[in-house]
Amino acid sequence: MKKSLAQLKRDAKAGGLVMELVEHFGRTGDQIPPRLRGLRPLVDANSVSVFFLNADGKKSACDIARASLVDYDDEGLTVYRFGHRPLTGAEAAALAEWEEIRQSKQYQDQSYADAMTDGSSTYWWWKSFWSKKGMEYMSCFDTTAGHGRYYDAAINEVWDLNVRGEAILRYRIVREEENGCRASA
């Protein structure tokens, strides 16, 4: 049965859960860093993380950016990287509009002047353009109001915290009866 992130945090605070990291950024088995291998009790939680107890007795944080980036059930826990999405129609139109500006003689002349004088007028023109469109994330990473998105020109898509990407961490819940392990801090 699927459980919520809030339930995961309650379970962490209550203690009693032991997990084993079975996949770490695509790596399994001996490819997982040694300090993260083996059975690790889930011992605490806060607003952005759950904490495991490592074999050396130190806590290890597992940050969780959004509830939508987690799957938690009776079998285990999977944490996902945020993903990317195609441009919306409005974003594509704004990008085309910006490209027209970039190709204009006025912009080209100002760009040359900036290069010769160590100026930054075209940079601020670019920032202002996206700000007026309400798409600041198209010019840089936007963390305002928790949006967490940015435009990636290399793939012509928007990375977005609201989009689930690939699994980066997979934990298996280990039952106490399986190995006699106690889950206490």
**Pair 18, 56: CB distance under 8 Å:** no
pLDDT score recorded for residue 140: 72
pLDDT score recorded for residue 158: 92
CA-closest candidate to residue 161, choices 107, 80, 104, 50: 80
Provide the whole-model pTM: 0.76
Task: For 23-76, write each residue's pLDDT tens digit.
Answer: 999 999 999 998 888 899 999 999 889 999 988 889 999 998 889 999 999 999
Task: For 89-148, write each residue's pLDDT tens digit.
Answer: 999 999 999 999 999 999 999 999 999 998 899 999 998 999 999 998 898 765 554 568
DSSP E strand stretches across the chain: 17-24, 39-45, 49-53, 59-63, 70-72, 76-86, 149-152, 157-174
pLDDT score recorded for residue 183: 46
